[in-house]
Structure 1
Amino acid sequence: GQKIPREYVIDFVERNRSFFEPLQPSFFELTSSMAFDYFRAEKVDYAVIEVGMGGRLDSTNIITPILSIITNISLDHTQFLGDTVEKIAFEKAGIIKKDVPALVGEVDRDSVARVFTDAAVKAGTQVYFAQDEGLLKESYLMDTGKWYLDSAEYGQLFGELGGVVQFRNAITVLGAINLLKAAGVDIPAEAIREGFEHVVELTGLMGRWQVLQQNPKVVCDTGHNAGGWQYLQIQLDDELKRHKHLYMIVGMVNDKDINSVLELMPKEAFYFFTQASVQRAMPAEGFAALAVSHGLSGVVCDSVPSAIEKALARAGQDDMIFIGGSTFIVADALPLFLKENE
């Protein structure tokens, strides 16, 4: 959970400026290079590398890992990755490599599964589908906001991350652990229990159905595509039964399948349509116009802090405020609720 030192970032830029400035890399490409450099300098035992977008042409794809994981497939970054789930699956399958086992967390159609199976055959490796492995015997979200998970191999686990989607993620994690152990990685059962129960504390991970305050209850979540919102929809519908009113502070970025997400947002809620402080943010006015066409209603706010101020002024003690639609919306909101040292 420790951040890279500021001095290392400055030194990396100074050392490599003459090389990368003529190339004009993206922010992600440059920071990926810095991460690899830092992991090498620190001699880390294991590095978990997340693809930026797609996989086949992603800057992270220069590595040869000991395990490749594809969580799920939904329409996202369609102007770059393709306009069907099969085309997107092909791009994501680009991380599958020779003699490196591949794990797919969730697949809901045969045509997508076939893309991964074909890619594995072509690469000369084996692909596994976590949902077929029978890894969980029972699971449910407890009143505490944690997941109860009765795993087939490690007994009772308690997942710290909130959100309905975390049940699916837990299956993927357990599948990954089994493949890593088969490859000779020593992962004690106690470490697995600790990891599930203290993942936020250990990693600093934020924005996964994170409760920011109570009375009124304020929750943020970084779900930003239809794959994430199919689970957020379930959870928000449940919250509607528990709270008098639901207020939604939402905005999205331009490269998402915005209409599919808006269709999943609760129509009974009152909305504060806004935009994050990044160039990619869809202007709040345009986002609101799209939302209205999906039966949603509310007011337009020019910034996330403004939307939060208005929502808090309007909400009663028994109400709930949700903040999301984009990782950048959540990023703008968090400093208003968390102390600097957190």
Structure 2
Amino acid sequence: MQYTEAIDYLYSRLPVFHRIGPKALKLGLRNTLLLCEGLGNPQQRFTSIHVGGTNGKGSTSHMLASIYQSAGYRVGLYTSPHLKSFTERIRLNGQPIPEEEVVRFVREQQALIESVEPSFFEVTVAMAFDFFARQAVDVAIIEVGLGGRLDSTNVITPVASVITNIGYDHTDILGDTLPLIAAEKAGIIKPGVPVIIGESHPETKEVFTSVAATLQAPITFADQQYQLQSLGLVNGLRQLQVTGGDMAGQLIQLDLLGNYQLKNLPAVLATVRQLQTLFPVTWAEQEEGLAAVTAQTGLKGRFQTLRLQPKVIADTAHNKPGLEALFETVQSISYKTLRIILGLVADKDRSQVLSILPSTAVYYFCQAQTPRSLPAHLLQEEAVSLGLAGYAFTDVNSALAAALEQADQDDLLLITGSNYTIAELINL
């Protein structure tokens, strides 16, 4: 079996969320537990940190991985979805899982897969856990896929549970109020295991404190422990100062440039502090890890600069709170004309997303080559009805090419709206 055959098998045999959306979900832990049992329960053979939340869980996972790599630990990292290659989902010290390991897993576990009939995501989780166990990682950072309580990753018992924030996303699955969504995310809290909440919110704080109290899980609200102030960009790195907590006055250089990372960082700092006894990390190692997240872990699509004149930035923000945070950063940049290359999926509440987009921008509507993607001409029609003028293109690269042709050197081109849109950029 070749790598292409193994990947074709996974995509053709199993329901895939990023292709068909919620219909691919098999909510609950039964299938994952059956897969893990067939593999000898690998999830019990490595130490893990579980990271959930509405937005920022990918960036938070990568920052934690980079810090622990800088401290010399052998670090596994599981995230989803991937942008370019399936192997990006499973990393060891920043390096994607070798293709031959994917082939080996599929070949050896094909009978198990077909007996369980899992989803694509359930198989990738089991593959990651098997790989991390066999590679004897010191710690694995495991990002939740969707929700928490019923997410396939929730078969682990981590040494810390991290919940970045709560916002409106996947409301058809998780609930249509913040407390309901928080309750689903709180499902990753385990008895006696410390939980770190990145952003406290009056509508969700009681949910977390109640669940933590019931499970006797020590709880930390990171934004009450650490505050950060941006000092601007120096040599391509965002300069930050810790203004609260036991590290007040410390300076941080971060290679992730979006202002929204200021909301993710307190949870990162609080998690590292919480686990100091188990995984000691010096301040110098934290500094080193945060200054080199993209280089050490391969993170892409988080306010990533693709070109300077005109400036082209790609960001995977895809829901209302994520896009609001993105445009806060955009407002801190000077430019002549804002040109937005936008692609959205069809199975989300687009009215909320479109309502926050700036009417002064020029739009280039596009679609990803996946059945979940909203056709560009329909997106254009919906946007025009809300006063957002622009052009329609069949793919993101054509849209970007048109925007570049029309742009002045001082314009800002922003590509956003969907992981799948960003993934199809040729020069990502």
Higher relative CO (Cα under 8 Å, sequence separation at least 6) belongs to 2
Q: Does 1:170 align with 2:265?
A: yes
Q: TM-score, with normalisation over the residues of structure 1?
A: 0.93
- Deviation string 1:69-122 (CA, Å, 9 cap, x unpaired) is 0001111111111111111101000000001000110133x2311111111112
**1:229 is aligned to 2:320:** no
Bigger shift: 303-312 or 285-294?
Answer: 285-294
Structure 1 stretch displaced more, 49-58 or 167-176: 167-176
The answer for the alignment partner of 1:142 in structure 2 is 233
Equivalence map 1:230-245=2 (5 Å): 230-239=324-333, 242-245=334-337
Q: 412, 415, 419: which is aligned to 1:320?
A: 412
Per-residue CA deviations over 1:121-157 (Å, capped at 9, x if unaligned) read: 1222122111111x23633332655322223428211
Question: What's the CA shift for 1:285?
Answer: 2.1
Find 1:285's aligned residue among 363, 377, 396: 377
Gaps of 5+ in 2: 1-93
Which secondary structure state, in structure 2, belongs to the residue aligned with residue 260 of structure 1?
Answer: helix
What is the match of residue 399 of structure 2?
A: 307
Tell me how far apart the structure 2 counterparts of residues 119 and 285 of structure 1 sit (CA, whole Å).
Answer: 45
In the alignment, structure 1 residue 212 sits paired with structure 2 residue 303? no
Q: Larger deviation: 287-296 or 268-277?
A: 287-296
Q: Greater CA deviation, 258-267 or 5-14? A: 258-267
What letter corresponds to residue 227 of structure 2 in structure 1? L
SS of alignment partner, residue 111 of structure 1: coil
Q: What is the CA distance between 1:258 and its match in structure 2?
A: 2.0
Structure 2 SS opposite 1:157? strand
Local SS of the residue matching 2:130? helix
So what's the TM-score if we normalise by structure 2?
0.74
Contact 1:233–1:264 at 8 Å: present in 2 too?
no
Look up the equivalent residue of 2:254 and give its one-letter code: G
Native 8 Å contact 1:75 1:257 kept in 2: no
Deviation by residue 1:266-325 (Cα, 9 ceiling, x = unmatched): 111110111112222122222222222332110111111211121111112121211011
Matches within 5 A, 1:49-88: 49-88=142-181
Residue 215 of structure 2 corresponds to residue 120 of structure 1: no
**The one of 180, 184, 203 aligned to 1:91:** 184
Whether 2:284 is the aligned partner of 1:194: answer no
Residue aligned with 2:313, SS: strand
Counterpart Cα distance in 2 of 1:269 and 1:218: 14
Percentage of identical aligned residues: 41
AA aligned to 2:330 is L
| Structure 1 equivalent of residue 342 of structure 2 | 250
Q: How many residues align?
A: 331
Structure 2 residue aligned with 1:337: 427
The equivalent residue for 2:130 is 37
SS in 1 for 2:149: coil
Contact 2:178 2:203 in 1 (8 A): no
Conserved 8 A contact 2:340-2:414: yes
8 Å CA contact 1:236, 1:266 repeated in 2: no
Tell me how far apart the structure 2 counterparts of residues 311 and 11 of structure 1 sit (CA, whole Å): 44
The question of 1:179 aligning with 2:274 is answered yes
Backbone CA RMSD of aligned residues: 1.6
Whole-angstrom CA distance in 2 between matches of 1:119 and 1:282? 38
Amino acid at match of 1:146: L
Native 8 Å contact 2:260 2:329 kept in 1 = no
User: What is the alpha-carbon distance in structure 2 between the residues aligned to residue 310 and residue 71 of structure 1?
Assistant: 37
CA–CA distance in structure 2, aligned partners of residues 46 and 304 of structure 1: 37
Where do 5+ consecutive residues of structure 1 fail to align? none
